[in-house]
Structure 1
Amino acid sequence: MSKILELKKRRADIAATVQTLATQESGGTALSAEQLQQLDTLKAEFDQLGAQLARLEDAERMIAAAAQQVDTLNAQGAPPVRVPASPAQPTVKGGSVARMAVALIHAQGNYRMAADYADKNGFGDDVSAALNGGSPSAGGVLIPSNMATEIIELLRPKAVVRRLGTRSLPLKNGNLTIPRLKGGASVGYIGDDNDIPATEQTFDDLKLSAKKMAALVPISNDLLDNAGISPDVEQVVVGDLTSAVGAREDLAFLRGDGSNNTPKGLRGWALPGNCIAAPAPATVDAAFLQAVEDFLNALILLLEGVDANMVSPGWVMSPRTFRFLEGLRDGKSNKVYPELAQGMLKGYPVGKATQIPNNLGAGGNESELYFCDFADCFIGEDKALTIDYSKEATYTGGDGKLVSAFSKDQTLVRVIAKHDFGPRHVESVAIGTGVKWGK
């Protein structure tokens, strides 16, 4: 304990003793001669301690005011180089995957050189270790599960099917079997001396097996040259990767037919009786508005009528259908479904997906509208991804034409994921077909 703190503690003890004696006297109890002598002694000591304490505090203030900075010399006798402090760069979620891609591209596909590049540029020990474990025969670099999980989590806000509540389960050895109750129990009332009816339940299985999905992401080489300068570059790369994977997932999970080793989507799982035709577009009058209302209610009733759990029900529709319903007005110019402005329809969340086409049907002008309990749907997925690159490959652009990455000065990053999709109860899927609403 410093001398100053010691003196302050002693003064506090003296003050407490004096306070006790003063309280005794004010309560009507006369102090003895010894106690009066004690008071005088304590008062004198208190004043003496105060003077001593003041001198010590004055001395400390003088020393602090006269202090001079002393530079520590290094081994060569020169003062050390001072590096100004700078704030830490924010961590980009999924950025380790982007850094893996950048290192791989800079090393021209050489995994060992990529690991060395990652190490020298401070990409992180996890990135270096993952690249060191790469194998050309595997078709790319395996992204470890802990890194891949970040990418998978980022898919949720970008992939409509995931966002609406679909559950993700791990695929062990590429397969997963989920039992489901297919038929209910037989239960009834009986009279006296009657046999109890047999109670049986019928079970079935939802079997998921890994399907390989490849997503190609074109990235500007100018952007890659700036990698490592700013986390914004990592954010762009991660955003492009997750957007591409999310869009391809939605296409498979919504409309995949299950052929050629692809997942079967909601359209393929839906029972024929759960697919109903939408009312044809007509003059927007009371009759048409009622027909639309009856159609939407019929889709909901298909689930409610079979006692679907309705834990996380929701709609998925094309942007064209969404804008038509959002803009519907009654005869008094009031919006028919104003809650669509908040992303809800009849009390359930709505997801817009460009993966639902608007060119279906004989006339090439039809779309579809999905209503499903997404909590009853499952994505079985391998928790690892594989990443590779090419500067010479071609890809299909938005206009359907082939684009050369070499001529565009781009690099194609390929991400391979393995997953499958399916509902536990197919009765939890309802689809409106022949939707011609909107332009």
Structure 2
Amino acid sequence: MPTINELRSERAKVNASVQALAKIEADGGQLNAEQVQQFTDLQAKFDDLTAQIGRMEAAERVAAAAAVPVDRAQASAHQPQAPPAAASMPATPRTPEIPGLGMSRMVRALVAAQGNQQAAAKFAADNNFGDDVAMALSTLTPGAGGVLVPTNMAREVIELWRPKSVVRTLGARPIPLNNGNLTLPRLKGGAVVGYIGTETDIPTTGQQFDDLKLSSKKLAGLVPISNDLLSYAGTNQNVDKIVVDDLAAAMGSREDKAFIRDDGTNNTPKGLLHWALAGFKFIASAGDTLQKVETDLNKLILALEAVDANLGRPGWIMSPRTFRFLEALRDGNGNKVYPEMKDNMLKGYPIGKTTQVPNNLGAGSNASELYFVDFNDCFIGEDETLLIDYSKEAAYKDGNGDMVSAFQRDQTLVRVIAKHDFGPRHVESVSILTGVTWGA
């Protein structure tokens, strides 16, 4: 007798066949008599399987509800002694599925089926990719040249690229974008109170308000993946992890660059560098002595403290070169000045280390930047809908700017598009040290 899971898998295959027939008419075609009969038979089979699954689920619920605890002592007194049970095998933990597994298998199925959603659903069912993947593929919504990923799978991948973005890791708060836009009011100037003399008029002051407006910006990640991996038919978590990691790394890296340094033009979000007020940007002191380094670091912290910033979740962003310099800095006795940096902390605040902060700035092309930000005051408006597309023929530029043919390399380009925006609710929550040549 088949199990519930086997029946569900069979129902998913029937659904894929039904959707393939329905697509013929949706595309302007017409079903012949044999196909009409096949559609009717498949529909009846789908209904029968659904009813059978429903009965088995109901039977399980009834059995669970009717179960009663057994008094072992009383039972043994009235029943003959059962033979000793055979030795059982020790329990082994189930190998956990990697995050993003469904998304990876959905991409592989779409590529294997040349973009045909119904064929991809059948491919997923035939290769044991899971009922959730097969059903998701059969109900995908076409988008601008690709397909919209189901929310559950999209959320998996978004969660994966979040740790690869230091801005998110340090505590910037994600909020949903309704219809692609969101306005957050903020208090710009507060009421002023003070002591007055006898028969003196009380001065009136009004509160001033401003807005943080977020509007969705389209982030497109282009990831070249080997066709040998994508065409692998069986389920293999190592293969799926490579595909997912490539997608997450590409999106997380580009997102971080936008949130830190993009200027808000050309359809990009406005990053921290351009949100910071002029009075909150400081030029690093000449030289890299301990006293000068300490003074510069304290300038950034004091800038936020001086305006009574909330400091709900402050942190640092710096390049790896700056991190290594500070981590190795020693005092006159040879002791490390900042020993807590082994735990990614500096002056009690967490550090985000990223290559998205360059080391080739300034007149000498050897300067970097150091950011101190209250990330609890920073918001990421995001739409969790992902659009995914692929091509085996397109060309792309590699990290060196050279044009590469995906066809010649036997690769598939997977393009993932997400929408989001970024901004601090209070711009006084961002301070920046420029011209940092420490470790250059």
Q: Measure how far apart 1:191 and its partner are.
A: 3.8
Task: Say if 2:142 and 2:148, in contact at 8 Å, map to a contact too.
Answer: no
User: 1:392 maps to what in 2?
Assistant: 393
Structure 2 Cα separation of the partners of residues 191 and 150 of structure 1: 64
User: 1:106 maps to what in 2?
Assistant: 112
Structure 1 Cα separation of the partners of residues 93 and 311 of structure 2: 48
Q: Measure how far apart 1:86 and its partner are.
A: 10
What amino acid is aligned across from residue 411 of structure 2 in structure 1? Answer: Q
User: 1:31 maps to what in 2?
Assistant: none
Structure 2 Cα separation of the partners of residues 242 and 6 of structure 1: 57
Structure 2 Cα separation of the partners of residues 6 and 364 of structure 1: 84
Q: Percent identity?
A: 64
User: 1:405 maps to what in 2?
Assistant: 406
Q: Which aligned pairs between 1:161-172 and structure 2 lie closer than 5 A?
A: 161-172=167-178
User: 1:330 maps to what in 2?
Assistant: 331
1:225-281 Cα deviation digits (max 9, x unpaired): 335332222222111111111101100000011001110000111111111111233
User: 2:38 maps to what in 1?
Assistant: none
Q: Measure how far apart 1:135 and its partner are.
A: 5.1
TM normalised by structure 1 equals 0.78
Q: Which aligned pairs between 1:21-420 and structure 2 lie closer than 5 A?
A: 57=80, 64=83, 90-134=96-140, 138-226=144-232, 228-281=234-287, 288-420=289-421
Q: Measure how far apart 1:90 and its partner are.
A: 2.7
Which 5+ residue runs of structure 2 have no aligned equivalent?
1-69, 86-90
Structure 1 Cα separation of the partners of residues 119 and 286 of structure 2: 61
Structure 2 Cα separation of the partners of residues 159 and 244 of structure 1: 10
1:326-363 Cα deviation digits (max 9, x unpaired): 11122222212111111011111001111111111122
Q: Measure how far apart 1:192 and its partner are.
A: 4.0
Structure 2 Cα separation of the partners of residues 6 and 177 of structure 1: 68
What amino acid is aligned across from residue 381 of structure 1 in structure 2? Answer: E
Task: Say if 1:111 and 1:135, in contact at 8 Å, map to a contact too.
Answer: no
Structure 1 Cα separation of the partners of residues 92 and 326 of structure 2: 52
Structure 1 Cα separation of the partners of residues 208 and 327 of structure 2: 43
Structure 2 Cα separation of the partners of residues 198 and 168 of structure 1: 38
**Larger Cα-atom Rg:** 1
3-state SS of 2:408 partner: coil
User: 1:44 maps to what in 2?
Assistant: none
User: Residues 130 and 138 of structure 1: is their aligned pair in 2 closer, same or farther, counting only changes over 3 Å?
Assistant: farther
Q: Measure how far apart 1:91 and its partner are.
A: 2.0
Q: Measure how far apart 1:406 and its partner are.
A: 1.8
Structure 2 Cα separation of the partners of residues 392 and 384 of structure 1: 26
Which 5+ residue runs of structure 1 have no aligned equivalent?
9-52, 68-84, 283-287
Task: Say if 2:175 and 2:382, in contact at 8 Å, map to a contact too.
Answer: yes
Task: Say if 1:274 and 1:429, in contact at 8 Å, map to a contact too.
Answer: yes
Structure 2 Cα separation of the partners of residues 331 and 227 of structure 1: 62
Structure 1 Cα separation of the partners of residues 76 and 139 of structure 2: 66
User: Residues 281 and 393 of structure 1: is their aligned pair in 2 closer, same or farther, counting only changes over 3 Å?
Assistant: farther
- Provide the alpha-carbon RMSD of the alignment: 2.5
1:156-199 Cα deviation digits (max 9, x unpaired): 32110000000000001000000111112111223444443324
Structure 1 Cα separation of the partners of residues 93 and 338 of structure 2: 48
